[in-house]
Amino acid sequence: MLGIFDSGFGGLSVLKHINNRLPNISTVFLGDNAQAPYGTRSTEEIFQLTLKGVRFLFQQGCPLVILACNTASSEALRRIQQEILPVEFPDRRVLGVIRPASEHLHERYDGDVGILATPATIRSESYAKEVAKLAPNTSVSQVACPGLVELIEQGKCDSEQTNELVSRYTNTLIEMNPQIEYVLLACTHYPLIYDVFRKQLPDHIKLISQGNIVADKLKEYLDRNKSILAKLNQDGQRLFYTTTSIDLSDQASMFYQSPIQFTHTSLQKYDIL
């Protein structure tokens, strides 16, 4: 099975695109809702929490795990790839969402870019570094958006508070660089309030979300790596796990755009020793 990990429900928006793009591949999703949000945690906390999630998905038999969370991708992915996989899981792979999105920006767009993301993603400078590698002449402006993930997970997608925060963050971004032509929603939760962002941004700015980008890049990756593809079950099974005991199926279904049922699990036994 293909594993999809997120700190909460945002990764379901990516999973939906993956399931549509690769409908036969079986998937198992894990949302670490009990510890969400990750975006205001320390780098070490994010690494430890993400690694527990990855270990769980490996235990389910996943040869490949996608970190469908920008915060986890920016703060934990490289360390997992460099320190953990070669020693413990040399035949497994973990991929993130930052590289695919950065490649997409480089391939499709030519102009100044704005990034809206969680505080941890912005703190990591991951997007600025990746875009600089691919397109050194591209200007990247970044704004951290604390509070949005919590409101989205609570289902307050069009609340007055959500609109006020989005207005504040988008105005800050435009003030930083009035020449911005493209804005990337660099958090997998944000597509759920795409219309709120769209309303607050000038019409000439192209607003980009990640779900279809990640799905397309994953398809390309599997086409290049047939040995990984061969290890993935292709019976279209869909499994969903969460670390919270609270029934959040209704909220989660908003992200996935279809009814889903979660199984509760604990990651305690995957604590790093």
Instruction: Just list the catalytic residues.
Output: 69, 187
Integer Cα distance of 273 and 270 in angstroms: 9
| Token pair for 146 | 């604390």
Q: Would strands 93-95 and 27-31 be described as parallel, antiparallel, or unpaired? A: unpaired
Assess contact for 108 and 63: CB atoms under 8 A. Answer: no
Q: 127 CB contacts (<8 Å, ≥6 apart)?
A: 74, 98, 101, 102, 115, 117, 121, 140, 142, 184, 186
Strand ranges across the sheet with 182-185? 140-144, 113-117, 182-185, 206-208
Q: What are phi and psi of 16, to 5 degrees?
A: -60, -45
Integer Cα distance of 153 and 187 in angstroms: 13
Q: 196 CB contacts (<8 Å, ≥6 apart)?
A: 157, 158, 162, 163, 166
Q: Smallest Cα–Cα separation from 117: which of 80, 165, 149?
A: 149
Integer Cα distance of 76 and 112 in angstroms: 27
